[in-house]
Amino acid sequence: MIALGVILAFGSGYFSANHSKILSFSREVPPSSQTSKKHAPEESLSWQNADVESSGNTTGSVDALDQLLASLDTKKRWGALASYGKKTASTNPAKAWALLPQIGGLADRQVFAESVISEWAKTSPQAAIAAAQTLTAGELKASAMAAAIGQWAQSSPREAMDFAAKNLTGSSRQMAVSAAAIEWARSDAQAAAEWALSNQQSTSGIQAIGEIMEFWGETNPQLGADWASKLPASVFQKQALQSILSKWTDQIPGESAEWLVKHPLLDDLKPLVAAQWAKSDPAAAAAWALSLPDSQIREIAALEVTGAWSAADPQEALAWIDKNSESQRNSLQIQALETWAADDPAAALAWANSQPESSKFSEAVMNRWAETNTKGFISWAEKLPSAQKTDTIRSIEALNLSDTEPETALQSAASITNSSLRIESIERVLTAWKRNDQAGAENWISNNQQLLKAR
How do residues 343-380 score in pLDDT, each as one tens digit?
999 999 999 999 988 888 999 999 999 989 988 998 89
Predicted local confidence at residue 399, as pLDDT: 87
Distant-in-sequence, close-in-space partners of 338: CB < 8 Å, separation ≥ 6: 364, 365, 367, 368
438-447 helix and 406-414 helix, angle to the nearest 10 degrees: 40
Predicted local confidence at residue 34, as pLDDT: 39
The total of other beta-carbon atoms located within 10 Å of residue 379's CB is 10
Predicted local confidence at residue 453, as pLDDT: 67
Predicted local confidence at residue 26, as pLDDT: 31
pTM: 0.73
Predicted local confidence at residue 397, as pLDDT: 87
Domains: count for the chain: 1
CB 159 within 8 A of CB 41: yes
The DSSP H or E segment spanning 392 is: helix 391-401
**Listed residue (160, 248, 159, 242) closest to 206, CA to CA:** 242
Exposed / middle / buried, residue 446 (Cβ in 10 Å: 0-12, 13-18, 19+): exposed
Does residue 99 sit in helix, strand or coil? Answer: coil
Does residue 455 sit in helix, strand or coil? Answer: coil
User: CA–CA separation, 364 vs 375, rounded Å?
Assistant: 17
Task: Assign 3-class secondary structure to 211-280.
Answer: HHHHHHHHHCHHHHHHHHHCCCCCHHHHHHHHHHHHHHHHHCHHHHHHHHHCCHHHHHHHHHHHHHHHCC
Kindly give the confidence (pLDDT) of every residue in the chain, 455 residues in length, as a single tens digit, with 9 standing for 90 and above: 333 333 333 232 322 333 232 223 333 333 333 333 334 343 334 443 344 333 345 556 778 888 899 989 999 999 999 999 999 999 999 999 999 999 999 999 999 999 999 999 999 999 999 999 999 999 999 999 999 999 999 999 999 999 999 999 999 999 999 999 999 999 999 999 999 999 999 999 999 999 999 999 999 999 999 999 999 999 999 999 999 999 999 999 999 999 999 999 999 999 999 999 999 999 999 999 999 999 999 999 999 999 999 999 999 999 999 988 777 888 999 999 999 999 999 999 999 999 988 888 999 999 999 989 988 998 898 888 877 778 888 899 898 888 889 998 898 888 888 888 888 899 999 999 999 999 998 888 888 877 676 66
**Which range of residues forms the domain containing residue 426?**
373-455
The DSSP secondary structure of 35-69, one letter per residue, reads --GGGPPPSS----S----TT---HHHHHHHHHHH
Distant-in-sequence, close-in-space partners of 440: CB < 8 Å, separation ≥ 6: 406, 433
User: CA–CA separation, 320 vs 343, rounded Å?
Assistant: 20
**Runs of H (alpha helix) within 264-373:** 270-278, 282-291, 295-312, 314-321, 326-343, 345-353, 358-372
The DSSP secondary structure of 9-35, one letter per residue, reads ---SSTT-SSPPPPPP--------SS-
CB 30 within 8 A of CB 43: no
**Listed residue (438, 436, 435, 416) closest to 426, CA to CA:** 416
Q: Is residue 17 part of a domain?
A: no
Predicted local confidence at residue 44, as pLDDT: 38
Does residue 138 sit in helix, strand or coil? Answer: coil
DSSP-derived letter for residue 136 is P
The DSSP H or E segment spanning 426 is: helix 419-436
Q: Is residue 451 part of a domain?
A: yes
* Sign of the dihedral defined by the CA atoms of residues 160, 117, 29, 239, in that order: negative
Predicted local confidence at residue 57, as pLDDT: 52
Predicted local confidence at residue 447, as pLDDT: 84
Distant-in-sequence, close-in-space partners of 137: CB < 8 Å, separation ≥ 6: 170, 172
The DSSP H or E segment spanning 89 is: helix 74-91
Q: Is residue 335 part of a domain?
A: no
How do residues 193-225 score in pLDDT, each as one tens digit?
999 999 999 999 999 999 999 999 999 999 999
- Residues 29, 131, 63: CA angle, nearest 5 degrees: 160
CB 22 within 8 A of CB 50: yes
Predicted local confidence at residue 288, as pLDDT: 96
User: CA–CA separation, 89 vs 104, rounded Å?
Assistant: 20
Measuring CA to CA, how many Å separate 11 from each of 18, 89, 92, 132? 14, 21, 19, 16
